[in-house]
Amino acid sequence: MIFNDIEKEVSRKTIVAVWNSANKGKTETLRRLAMLFKEKFPLAVFSLVDIPVVGDFRLIITLNDIKIAIESQGDPNTKLHERLMELDGLGCNLIICTCRTKGETVKAITDMEKECNFETIWTSTYQSTQKVDRVKLNKLKAKHIFELLQEFELL
């Protein structure tokens, strides 16, 4: 029994899905998270030298024996399932991605749970009905995702 628990921990694969409707700060939150990884783990190997300041991006981080992928392109009709399968094939133990709240992007993630034995943690961006600084909200959400990854020993 103890051996099975140890084996389960070693082989655990996780997706953190940042879901929300369009234009709610998902990509910007992941951009802030990528910058946080660069700040906290300067000796890790990053597939991108610079994090793009606009548009979607994919970043693969090799941190010791862990491969982490950040995939910000989670819109419908972007073949999210195929891109997630590719990341699994590259050996990514942890995938942090964006998706919408329903439809094919959600299905892509739930299919990964079944097909590739990923566990999914669902979260969303922070929103405000007031005129709160959205940049600050995205930065704070990125920090909270980073802390979540640390708390669950995924880093």
| DSSP secondary structure string for all residues of 96-117 | EEEE-SSSHHHHHHHHHHHHH-
Neighbours of 15 (CB within 10 A): 26
On the question of pLDDT at 132 being above 90, the answer is: no
Per residue in 101-113, pLDDT (tens digit) is 999 999 999 999 9
Q: Tell me how far apart the alpha carbons of residues 139 and 30 are, in angstroms, rounded to a whole number.
A: 9
- Closest by CA to 15, choosing from 125, 151, 101, 120, is 120
- Average pLDDT estimate for 1-10: 42
pTM of the model: 0.90
Residue of higher predicted confidence among 132 and 115: 115
Residues 6+ apart with CB under 8 A from 110: 120
Neighbours of 43 (CB within 10 A): 6
